[in-house]
Chains A and B, each alone.
Chain A
């Protein structure tokens, strides 16, 4: 057995999966808390990627530093989208279906806006450390992947702490667990939902920058990213932040290991076959669905 190839593929897969997780936690949150399947989630991430690219090219701003600009902006944008577009449909009987249709429309509008502003050219985020590595024995660690991994750890921890340790976070969980009772306790459901949605969109921004450090991106890339989002949430369990993180890592591990052991053309068969098995035997995901 070629152990170097196995471990190198595994390391690379775990780091890649962590970035998928970072992109997916907000998607899981809105789906779990508000029953809103935000199909435009990855598109918000893509906007952050394009903004990071522009800030880097024009001002030389590091993509991670650009999050200081994009995260608050996307949080605000998310709040506005919730207030004016999502909130009116939360009264619909089939919120999940309505939200999918609505956010699909938002994704198309945003994609066309990206096309208008940045054009159709594919982009690559190439910083001074893009091709840098450090080695531990025969194994290489690529800086962008390590950075993406660290961003994922920070992002997941921050959202988890927010939900468990802050009053607003506890209100979000209360609203998810007992909607009516929480309102009787004085929790403003609309405001809490708006904050949750804003937070989720902001986390998409961090995930988008993480993805841009690994892959080239174009105005339509969000369609592909969306597949990873569904994978992460379905494997990890809807509304479960740590589950989403574990789901992302698991997908990375499976991809990495299958690249070491199987012909590459079997990777998608294996990944989606596994997804089908999970849906059959654990329809709510590998982890318990909760916030």
Chain B
């Protein structure tokens, strides 16, 4: 072999090596920059649109913050969000589509509980981690291993805080008779559980226990009955539409119990905005609140103040954020997008979120979290437990203005 030929081969080898190295670097850089796609559906139109849109905003705030910090596992994150039109069947279809057709890297949690409940078997089938609200205890008792309530909106825990507080009220000042009106669906059923246990414990008689199908056509007969039976505790286990109708009928008919406990309707911003002072003094529960002192809440409050001119982030904005916060800690902890590794990490480690620290049980839920709220001067204030209290409870309920 001539030295000229030898030199040519050496040169070619070096050139080839350089090209391969450049290609490898390009591939590595490209792979590093390829975004992590997080898919699923939210109710952006239809019955739950208001809530769904706040969840989406919370998720997007998390994505913005994450990308500004350099992404997840060093890769930017982006969402592929479908609008399930508040339809449970569509939520299931879109979850399947996100996993099998779009081949997303991660799945985000849906809303409401009925949709989350229906998506849980789908994610189990495809072995995809699903951090959402869950909806009620039964959905976490089906043996699913990839679903997490992080934190959940657990109907069974919803009134725990209220009754724990009521227990501190002297027995002679507590309500004596309760009227319990409940929407006839799994969420409503889950809300009644703690009422039955606690009223028995506190010696409160359940004088009325009625279920109604949504939409409630008229709240007048409900209130007439509660008034006639001298019920001084009204448990209105419903959503916004029937909740406001009940409040209006109570005011119109001059029914003023010692306490009104409301299901889900009173924790949405529209409650106070639309009802005004009539929406005040209503008790409810939550597993997340803008006035909690856990790290991160101030940042969310500052963002919604700047972006939407709202004092205190809406609860579902927070949920959109916190579900992603939990999922992302699972990803960072597992250092992988492998769903089983993420699941295993979440099951064996603690996550720190704006709702507080959480450690998940085998069912995928943390220890019970519930804060009692009361709407005071148009704001849902934290009443119980005492360490998170932001305002003193107003009890008994003042007369209607």
- Which of A's residues lie within 8 Å of B, judged by CB? 2, 4-5, 8-9, 12-13, 16, 111-112, 115, 119-124, 126, 130-133, 140, 142, 215-216, 218-220, 224, 255-256, 259-260, 263-265, 267-268
Contact = CB atoms under 8 A, between A and B. Distances in A.
B221 A260 contact: yes
Interface in B186-230: 210-213, 215-218, 220-222, 224-225, 228
A130 B253 contact: no
Nearest to A268: B213
B296 to A, nearest CB: 26
A263 B268 CA distance: 29
Contacts of A121: 50, 269-270, 273
Contact of A263 (B50, B210, B253, B276): B210
Nearest to A12: B220
Given A133-B253, A255-B217, A267 B274 contact: no
Most chain A C-beta atoms within 10 Å of own C-beta, residue among B46, B53, B218, B252: B218
Given A5-B224, A219-B49, A13 B274 contact: no
A93 to B, nearest CB: 32
Interface in B227-256: 228, 240-241, 244-245, 248-249, 251-253
Nearest to B248: A131
A220 B46 contact: yes
Most chain B C-beta atoms within 10 Å of own C-beta, residue among A126, A215, A255: A215
Contacts of B211: 263-265
Most chain B C-beta atoms within 10 Å of own C-beta, residue among A122, A132, A140: A122
**Chain B interface main SS type:** helix
Contacts of B46: 220
B228 A142 contact: no
A4 B270 contact: no
A131 B275 CA distance: 11
Contacts of B86: 220
Contacts of B249: 142
A9 B252 contact: no
B218 A16 contact: yes
Given A122-B240, A126-B276, A220 B47 contact: yes
B362 interface: no
A194 B95 CA distance: 45
Contact of A140 (B181, B216, B253, B275): B253
B184 interface: yes
A220 B49 contact: yes
B45 A120 contact: yes
A2 B50 contact: no
B213 A267 contact: yes
B278 interface: yes
A259 B218 contact: yes
B124 to A, nearest CB: 31
B267 to A, nearest CB: 13
A217 to B, nearest CB: 9
Given A122-B274, A131-B248, A142-B252, A8 B220 contact: yes
Contacts of A124: 244, 274-275
B221 A265 contact: no
A104 to B, nearest CB: 14
Contacts of B47: 218, 220
28 contacts: A2-B228, A8-B221, A9-B224, A111-B45, A120-B44, A120-B45, A120-B50, A121-B270, A122-B241, A122-B274, A123-B270, A126-B276, A131-B251, A140-B253, A142-B249, A142-B252, A216-B245, A218-B49, A218-B50, A220-B46, A220-B49, A220-B86, A255-B218, A259-B222, A263-B210, A263-B211, A264-B222, A267-B217
